[in-house]
């Protein structure tokens, strides 16, 4: 499957007419089921700030595992706690299809580059929305892993973009909030047609 580097969270969308995306019915059904469990636009949890995690216990482990599974089933490349109704500072991502799911708990953007890039992004909570977002090209993030151990991530390109997109979710910020005004207006119209706005 081709890797589309332009769409954090939604690299492969069934309805965006890309000729290289041919999903079999089983994959599509699994994706639909996953999307039904992911909070969609209009739910106030997406506009809320998530709280730091202090208990690195079995429950946290289970939540992160579920998030990783939902993200994969939804054919996404990132997912934040808010998107599964958890106001906890948790995110998972996987930019390399064959790589492991990465987990960041209590992520803090410690540094971001002055150099930026504009790319189109989508979001598993915003069906059919694609907007151009300008973001720093490189970031350094301090976080904890599922066991509570400190991790330092230096990321560039798509990985840096996904992390920033998910940290935004944890702060109650959506791509609509960062989109150019005309694109935001168009996206809101599309969401209204889906009865989400
Ligand atoms: Zn998103």
- E strands, 46-87, in order: 78-80
pTM of the model as a whole: 0.89
How does pLDDT run across 85-113, given as a tens digit for each residue? Answer: 999 999 999 999 889 999 999 999 999 99
Tokens representing 191 are 């969401």
Q: How far is the CA of 58 from the centre of ligand 1 (A)?
A: 26
Gap between the Cα atoms of 189 and 195, Å rounded:
10
What pLDDT was estimated at residue 12? Answer: 44
Domain 25-192 CATH superfamily: Peptide deformylase (3.90.45.10)
Q: Which residues are catalytic?
A: 166
Q: Where are the domains of the chain?
A: 25-192
Q: How far is the CA of 54 from the centre of ligand 1 (A)?
A: 24
Helix (H) or strand (E) holding 108: strand 102-112
Q: How far is the CA of 24 from the centre of ligand 1 (A)?
A: 24
């Amino acid at each position: 499957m081709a890797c589309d580097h332009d769409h954090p969270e939604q690299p492969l969308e069934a309805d965006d007419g890309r000729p290289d995306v041919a999903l079999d019915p089983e994959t599509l059904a699994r994706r639909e089921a996953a999307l039904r469990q992911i909070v969609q636009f209009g739910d106030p949890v997406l506009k809320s700030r998530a709280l730091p995690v202090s208990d690195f216990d079995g429950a946290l482990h289970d939540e992160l595992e579920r998030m990783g599974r939902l993200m994969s089933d939804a054919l996404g490349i990132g997912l934040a706690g808010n998107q599964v109704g958890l106001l906890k500072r948790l995110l998972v991502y996987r930019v390399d299809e064959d790589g492991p799911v990465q987990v960041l708990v209590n992520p803090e953007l410690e540094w971001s580059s002055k150099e930026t890039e504009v790319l189109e992004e989508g979001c598993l909570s915003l069906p059919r929305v694609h907007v151009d977002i300008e973001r720093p090209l490189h970031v350094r993030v301090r976080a904890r892993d599922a066991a509570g151990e400190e991790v330092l991530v230096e990321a560039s390109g798509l990985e840096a973009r996904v992390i920033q997109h998910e940290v935004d979710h944890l702060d109650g910020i959506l791509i609509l909030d960062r989109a150019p005004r005309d694109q935001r207006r168009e996206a809101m119209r599309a969401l209204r047609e889906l009865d989400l706005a």
